[in-house]
């Protein structure tokens, strides 16, 4: 088995909604390797944030197991627990909400460095503060250090959030819609910064977004996982997923995406869904969660058993009985745990 940095094994999560438990994550299995970028894409409410929060230890799974460097995160104690707490950092969608408005940049960045005793003396602190700002292209550092969050642009605040997450030298970043609040050109530049951080520091990243083109751009030579109603329905290398989508939901997402200026992949044909509305989690469909909307729906097949995530080709897995039915000899439940691509380190 490969050495995953973060591993989710058959993870499920239920929340109490209207007085009863509602299953929002079902049977998610996923490995993320050191230095790998995985983008998780899907419509609002499909469970992306909850997945990220479970990895960061902020939401406990109801079933299954989340592990970090091979150890179940609920069993970590002492030095191992500290290594995990610092090793996995979350960057929020809205940096305004997560940055203390009454603190200057200097104090925002110095707090974790001091709290976790990551600098020994004042000179080291000064060097590290500047290093952090430079690593996210927030310059001139001396000027930025004196500012309050409201004196920064949206893009600069986002960079500050990333710098704060990096202050504790994590090995894994959960970036939850980290660029959705800023303009397109700033988005691209922040995304390039994330990619550079991966290249320079071997940082692994789970990038959460509802935008498939963005998911692909950030993943680069990493993977994209597509989520629907709390399940990963398809996962593959980013280019492969865009060029050869297998799950009808991925095809529908692609067809609904605006043209991607960064890609020369051919435009996909329009997909006519059987219905547009996403089913409520309170009334989860039997069988494949996508079947009420799926143009390839086969009665008696798709509305009976939940399709397993099946390896359809090397580094590509799909949970669609109709698709996999035409591709015999596939391995259930394996592809989400494939080895990291050789180019991802
Ligand atoms: N603490 C909670 N209590 C009850 N329900 C919750 C809680 N957190 C999330 N949910 C529900 O879980 C489902 C998945 O939410 P989640 O935020 O993970 O989805 P998402 O794909 O990240 O959505 P978005 O793109 O809108 O952020 C939603 O129906 C949401 O209402």
212: nearest Cα among 257, 247, 263, 251:
257
For ligand 1, mutation pick of 47, 230, 253, 280 (most atoms within 8 Å of CB)? 47
Within a domain: 51: yes
Q: How many structural domains compose the chain? A: 1
Residue 93's pLDDT is: 67
Q: What lines the ligand 1 site, CB under 6 Å?
A: 15, 17, 24, 42, 44-50, 210, 281
Within a domain: 71: yes
Q: What angle do CA 108, 146, 174 make, to 5 degrees?
A: 30
Give the Å distance between the CA of 208 and the centre of ligand 1.
13
Residue 60's pLDDT is: 96
Within a domain: 117: no
Q: What is the rounded average pLDDT for all residues in the chain?
A: 88
Within a domain: 266: no
User: What are the pLDDT digits (tens) for 158-216?
Assistant: 899 999 999 999 999 999 876 666 677 777 788 888 888 888 889 999 999 998 988 99
What is the residue range of 178's domain? 6-102+148-253
CA atoms of 148 and 145, how far apart (whole Å): 8
Give the Å distance between the CA of 36 and the centre of ligand 1.
25
Residue 178's pLDDT is: 65
Residue 1's pLDDT is: 47
Give the Å distance between the CA of 269 and the centre of ligand 1.
31
Q: What CATH code is carried by the domain that includes residue 178? A: 3.40.50.300
Higher-confidence residue: 159 or 257?
159
Within a domain: 286: no
Within a domain: 212: yes
CA atoms of 272 and 255, how far apart (whole Å): 10
Proportion of the chain above pLDDT 90, given as a percent = 66
> Average of pLDDT values for 16-42?
94
């Amino acid at each position: 088995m490969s050495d995953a940095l973060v591993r989710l094994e058959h993870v499920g999560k239920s929340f109490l909604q209207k007085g009863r438990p509602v299953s929002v994550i079902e049977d998610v299995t996923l490995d993320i390797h050191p230095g790998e970028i995985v983008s998780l894409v899907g419509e609002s409410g499909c469970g992306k944030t909850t997945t990220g929060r479970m990895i960061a230890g902020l939401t406990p799974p109801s079933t299954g197991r989340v592990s970090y460097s091979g150890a179940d995160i609920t069993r970590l104690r002492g030095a191992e627990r500290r290594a995990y707490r610092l090793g996995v950092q979350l960057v929020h969608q809205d940096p305004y909400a997560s940055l203390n408005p009454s603190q200057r940049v200097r104090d925002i960045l110095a707090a974790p460095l001091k709290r976790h005793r990551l600098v020994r003396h004042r000179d080291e602190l000064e060097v590290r503060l500047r290093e952090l700002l430079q690593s996210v292209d927030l310059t001139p550092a001396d000027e930025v250090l004196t500012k309050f969050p409201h004196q920064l642009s949206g893009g600069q605040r986002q960079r500050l959030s990333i710098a704060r997450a990096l202050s504790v030298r994590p090995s894994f970043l959960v970036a939850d819609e980290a660029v959705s609040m800023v303009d397109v050109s700033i988005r691209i530049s922040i995304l390039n910064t994330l990619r550079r951080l991966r290249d320079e520091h071997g940082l692994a990243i789970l990038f959460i977004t509802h935008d498939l083109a963005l998911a692909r751009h950030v993943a680069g030579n990493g993977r994209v996982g597509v989520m629907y109603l709390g399940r990963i329905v398809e996962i593959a290398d980013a280019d492969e997923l865009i060029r050869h989508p297998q799950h009808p939901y991925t095809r529908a997402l692609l067809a609904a995406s605006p043209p991607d200026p960064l890609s020369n992949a051919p435009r996909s044909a329009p997909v006519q869904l059987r219905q547009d509305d996403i089913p409520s989690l309170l009334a989860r469909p039997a069988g494949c969660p996508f079947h009420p909307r799926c143009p390839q729906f086969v009665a008696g097949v798709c509305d009976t058993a939940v399709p397993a995530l099946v390896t359809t080709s090397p580094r590509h897995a799909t949970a669609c009985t109709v698709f996999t039915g035409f591709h015999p000899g596939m391995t259930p439940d394996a592809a989400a745990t494939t080895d990291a691509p050789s180019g991802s380190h």
